[in-house]
Structure 1
């Protein structure tokens, strides 16, 4: 009886190993097809910076937004709202913000935890080279998303962010991203639905994003990209926190 139990245990362990290997191979296959759909590994590896101008609509207010990102180094967003400019920036391991709408006319440092949660915003390449980035990926099944068949691939990142990518089985574009991140003792959840995919310099980008977050319950931020520059020259001094 003991020998029979041991054989069953060994068979079960072997099946688990085989299942894990198949799952890992399936995840890698999906990611490979996704990267290919986004322009291919060679193109994506050459992505060093972007500058995006967009219009964000929130509660019937139109707010122009300019976003500048240097791969793995820094990002900066400038949002125009009611005649005022809100600036948020992360430069390396530090970040700062100016928000005159809340009476904050001068730059103030962002808390370390907030900067850590925003770290992935500096990465333009997504799931490309995910193993080298230290991400852990799992394939959590398939589902129907508004008529589109999608793979659900979860990425757990080094900064504690857990991101679920809903990857189209047809185009291999990411149609939706949900993320959960710890910020100042709270678990903030965001959802971004992506569409209107266009190629710029051989790389595919979503030009329409609809974002909701538990930090702003009941609100949907609709971002329409007006222009997107690939690898523009960036004066990296714009990421430095103003001294006064």
Structure 2
């Protein structure tokens, strides 16, 4: 009897594993997009405003990001009464960094490599939505454990050769983690973000907790305080001000 149960259990595992790998990368991407609200709803999202908070070395930091889908982004980070501003507007970008953070306090042009990397955030809903239209390809690498949960490991290769690893839950089809190598100020770094605390907003699913390795060591947790969909945006906020 025990032997029969063991055989039955083994068959269940084998069938489950076989069905997991029977899915193609395209099928997983389709289920992921459906799980987070569907392509049509994401395409109907024209703008977004998000407020986050996190702590670094005991300092409480707040940020606000405004995005116009496919076009512009502005992020303001408040640190010790000083504002760091990052803006991408079309194919160009600019930043303001306080003197205390090795900046000039005046608007500076953003390096094109940083503009290109920041522009990826303009694709609301993530890089898997419409990836074929942008010339990217997706490959199913296998399955892995992410914080104890089973996840499909998808390899996204962009038209320019950049590679991102996206880990999609086998049960919810939410993206649990992304990773890849990125160039920042001429140096190649490992960019990694883990997502959790998923909540629906007007039918779209957003991760409200993001964890990423901290430059200071350990990890940094970013909590989302609020998200507004389709707010009215004054596009003048994306224009680079004249230097004083």
Q: Scaled by the length of structure 2, what TM-score is found?
A: 0.85
Separation of aligned partners in 2, 1:24 and 1:106? 55
Name the structure 2 match of 1:42: 40
Note if contact 1:54-1:223 (Cα within 8 Å) is conserved in structure 2: yes
- 8 Å contact 1:98–1:104 — kept in the other structure? yes
Tell me, yes or no, if the aligned pair for 1:163 and 1:177 is still in contact at 8 Å.
yes
User: Equivalent of 1:85, from 83, 93, 106?
Assistant: 83
Aligned length: 220
Q: What's the C-alpha RMSD, in Å, of the aligned pairs?
A: 1.7
1:223 matched to which residue of 2?
222
Instruction: Say whether residues 1:170 and 2:185 are aligned partners.
Output: no
> Matched residues in 2 for 1:206 and 1:45: separation?
18
- Measure how far apart 1:30 and its partner are: 0.2
Q: Is the 8 A contact 1:119 1:159 kept in 2?
A: no
**8 Å contact kept, 1:160–1:182:** no
Once the two structures are superposed, the pairs formed by residues 1-244 of structure 1 within 5 Å of their partners are 26-100=24-98, 101-126=101-126, 127-212=128-213, 216=215, 218-244=217-243
Whole-angstrom distance in 2 between the partners of 1:27 and 1:170? 15
Query: Once the 2 structures are TM-superposed, how far is the Cα of residue 220 of structure 1 from its aligned partner?
Result: 2.5
Other structure's SS at 1:86 match: strand
Measure the CA separation in 2 of the matches of 1:91 and 1:150.
35
Return the alpha-carbon distance in structure 2 between the equivalents of residues 181 and 103 of structure 1.
22
- Deviations along 1:63-104, whole A, 9 cap, x unmatched? 010011111101111000011011011111111110113242
The Cα shift of 1:184 comes to 4.1
Deviates more, 1:119-128 or 1:153-162: 153-162
Q: Which runs of 5+ in 1 are unaligned?
A: 1-22
User: What TM-score do you get using the length of structure 1 for normalisation?
Assistant: 0.85
